[in-house]
Amino acid sequence: MTGGADGRLLTLADYGEAASGALDAGAWDFLEGGAGGERTLAANLEAFERVRLLPRLLAGVARPELGTRILGRRWRMPVGIAPMAYHTLAHPAGETATALAAGSAGVPLVVSTFAGRTFEEIALAASAPLWLQVYCFRDRSVTRRLIERAAAAGFEALVLTVDAPRLGRRLRDLRNGFRVPAGVGPANLEGGGYEEPGAHALAEFDATLDWSVIDWLRSVSTLPVLVKGIVTAADATRALAAGVDGLVVSNHGGRQLDGAPATLDVLPEIAAAVGGACPVLLDGGVRRGADVLAAVALGADAVLVGRPVLHALAVGREQGVADVLGILADELTETMILTGTPSVGDAGTGLVRLAPPGHTSGHGASGYGPVPVLREPVLREPAGGEPVGRESSEGMPGPGLRRADLHASVSDPVLDTMNFLNEITHRYPDALSFAPGRPYDGFFETEQIFTHLRRYLEHLEEGGASPGQIRSALFQYGPTSGQIRELVAQWLRREEDVDVPPQSVVVTVGAQEAMFLAVRALISGPDDVLLVSSPCYVGITGAARVLDVPVGAVAEGADGFSCTALEAAILAERARGRRPRAFYVIPDHSNPSGATLTLSARRELLELAARHDILILEDSPYRIVSPGAQLPTLKSLDRERRVVHLGSLSKTLFPGARVGFVVADQVVMGPDGTEGLLADELTRIKSMITVNTSPVSQAVVAGMLLADPEEASRLRARTAAYYGDAMRVTLKQLAEHLPSVERAALGVRWNEPTGGFFLTLSVPFRADNAALTRSAEEFGVIWTPMSYFYPEGGGEHEIRLSVSYLTHEEIADGVGRLTRFIKAQAGA
């Protein structure tokens, strides 16, 4: 036994050293060796040697959260066991012992096509997820039978290995004349000829595979499909376009193409290309808990560990594997505490410095820089065409900025979601789009702008303003807090029964700036957290990402979020040592779900906010443009100044003005005991961002607010009726195209909002970017994946439809196209 001075095995390297003496030399070389000169094998390990982790001091992290969710299943830590052939080479118990250890550790096991124990035996021993690694044989019926057996045994996913049309030339095995020993073989395959792995692969593996194999796998199984062997962003985007459910960044442990890059080096680029559309896993070279955190920080959702598991199996059967997984968990915990990383989800590129290849220990700290360049994602490569994406910057003058040198938010999937949607819209201009949530512009006439502008100027003149003051009201910056605060306050009093002094109003550049100001002011330290209703409007989560603000999700039910769920979230955050400061919610016809809070729920929410001393960020832009009587706003019910009201006039008046506001009447105590309003603090922040909201836009909006009340009422009624009719037409068309019996058989359902712009459909397939691309390309209809709106994952089988921008005829045509897509995607 090797290891420390007392013989204890304390690291994965200790287990490797012990296994080298426990295994036959030929078996050791088979398990340990790589292809060719083993450059890629060495590069995988060397890449992690170039990592440096940056601590965040005084972070107060005592019990970090290691858990993560992948494909709907919780993993106790972001680690799984990679697929490897013949665990029985390491120990006769083979994969059954590995499965026992994986279950006790709460991590999944990916079982090789060439497993030494049967799927049924492994499943009987397992208590954590099992995935099947698939090699596609020339005889597809062999592959189909393997998949069917695994599915029957309870396996939960398929991992297609795509980097092995033949096995790499492994010189150790050739020099040893290695043959699989008697008593070891693929327990789930019939026949013989497995003694020489390379020769068998050359004879039986299908070297003609192309991306259509994904469709074939879908035709024989309903299990999620991941693709293993991705080392380029281009192949990652091709895989997404083919409809995969996940990627494994892998070079086969250095056993295939010798000279391929280390997986850690290509991970950031691939993660950026994927943009959160599916889970990204990594294998190759992981030997420490710190390696796990580094990979997650650079874009992986989890890692798969290979050879160390077999080392542990050889040394100590299932207990050895359990010990190795325990070492990784302990090291990961320690690394997260020392780097101030409270959860796996909080690990980002700012945590890592990665030296270029060749700069390992001994080259000095000067060799370390931020993580490598993250290229813009290439969204897909159309048949017969050039890849769609941005031009290369090669040859361009300038400093050659790398995205990794920029703030981590620019690589955050939240900020990429709408970019992808816009790209799809521009690429398929003839498709009917249920995606944009913008108002219908058929109500507007260009000349109206001048009418509104003149009305405001007359209002100023009637109020005694001189010609010079009127000129300044249009041509100068104006007050940072806004020059139409009085009119906004009057409008709120008249339309929303919100009675606040004008001094509590800050006029903003749309409601988006109002969100930034409120979040920046309220979240003051690293342990403060913003809670949001989930699914949630991406504007608020995007603002949080840009501002480095932690976000906690409160799951919605069919009728919106519940106060019970919010209270549980508040208590959970406090138990983690974090301070919930505010809760963001859209109480009326929310974006994206369309849910509306009941009056009793609104009152309960206000009571809860007072009880737990938090603020509520209320965003309610769809109320006045929805038909029928509306429930009172939270702000109108607020008696303790718990509500910061975020307002938008884009839906109510017109979007091009980009005028919003925030009502912040909370009292703020200064260090000298003086009192002011939160609005004053927001104004200070705004002075450093936009300085002021466009005076011309404010003037036009003011003219609209000054319109005759009866005229304004008629306009609002007309607007609300239009959007209400659009919602009714959409629901009617859905019911006609998908009658109740048919949609029940398909597993399709939708909610029926009473107003607003949005409704949600549940569908029997993954509604991801690949499905969206197919919908636009083949069926001419665009929608929004609901997964965009879940801060902590979810909504994979839901889509959002916006009804605001289409005519009734376009809605009817679009629902027909959408129905045909749903049926085709569901295989009906």
- DSSP letter string, 509-533: SHHHHHHHHHHHHH--STTEEEEEE
Sign of the torsion formed by the C-alpha atoms of 135, 136, 138 and 143:
positive
What is the Cα–Cα distance from 518 to 521, expressed in whole angstroms?
A: 5
Give how far Cα 522 sits from Cα of 281, 581, 635, 673, Å. 36, 7, 18, 19
Q: Which two tokens stand for residue 56?
A: 């965040």
Among candidate residues 87, 252, 311, 797, the one labeled active-site is 252
Alpha helices in 283-306 (DSSP H): 289-297
Is 649 within 8 Å of 662 (Cβ atoms)? no
Phi/psi of residue 79, each to 5°? -140, 135
E-state strands within 217-364: 225-230, 246-249, 280-283, 302-305, 352-354
The sign of the dihedral angle between the CA atoms of 444, 445, 446, 451 is negative
Peptide bond just before 356 cis, omega within 30 deg? no
Provide the edge-to-edge strand list for the sheet that holds 758-762: 749-750, 758-762, 798-802, 784-785
Q: Are strands 109-111 and 130-134 parallel, antiparallel or unpaired?
A: parallel
Judge whether 200 counts as a catalytic residue.
no
Two structure tokens written together for 467: 């010609």
Look at residues 423, 409, 427, 658 and name the one whose alpha carbon lies nearest to residue 538: 409
**What is the distance in angstroms between the CA of the first residue and the CA of the last residue of the chain?**
60
Sequence-separated (6 or more) residues with CB below 8 Å from residue 77: 66, 67, 68, 105, 106, 107, 292, 328, 329, 332, 344
The first and second tokens of residue 416, run together, are: 């990429």
At CA 274, angle to CA 408 and CA 430, rounded to 5?
115
**The Cα angle at residue 270 between residues 47 and 516, in degrees rounded to 5:** 110
Amino acid at the residue 92: P
Nearest to 643 by CA among 659, 620, 623, 622: 620
User: Which residues does residue 506 pair with via DSSP β-bridges, in sequence order?
Assistant: 662
Where would I find the beta strands (DSSP E) of 206-312?
Answer: 225-230, 246-249, 280-283, 302-305
Structure token digits, residue 432: 């009917």
Q: Return left, alpha or beta for 396; rule: phi > 0 is left, psi -120 to 50 is alpha, else beta.
A: beta
Rounded-to-integer distance, Cα 425 and Cα 350, Å: 33
Cα→Cα distances 814→131, 776, 810, Å: 38, 11, 6
Report which of 227, 291, 231, 233 is spatially closest to residue 411, judged by C-alpha positions.
233
User: Are 34 and 306 a contacting pair, CB within 8 Å?
Assistant: no
Q: What length does the chain have?
A: 828
Strand partners, 304: 80, 283
How many CB atoms sit inside 10 A of residue 65's CB? Answer: 16
Q: Which two tokens stand for residue 797?
A: 């089988």
Residue with tokens 């050791």: 28
Residue with tokens 């108002």: 439
Distances, alpha carbon 130 to alpha carbons 241, 286, 415, 796, in Å:
26, 21, 33, 21
Catalytic positions are 252
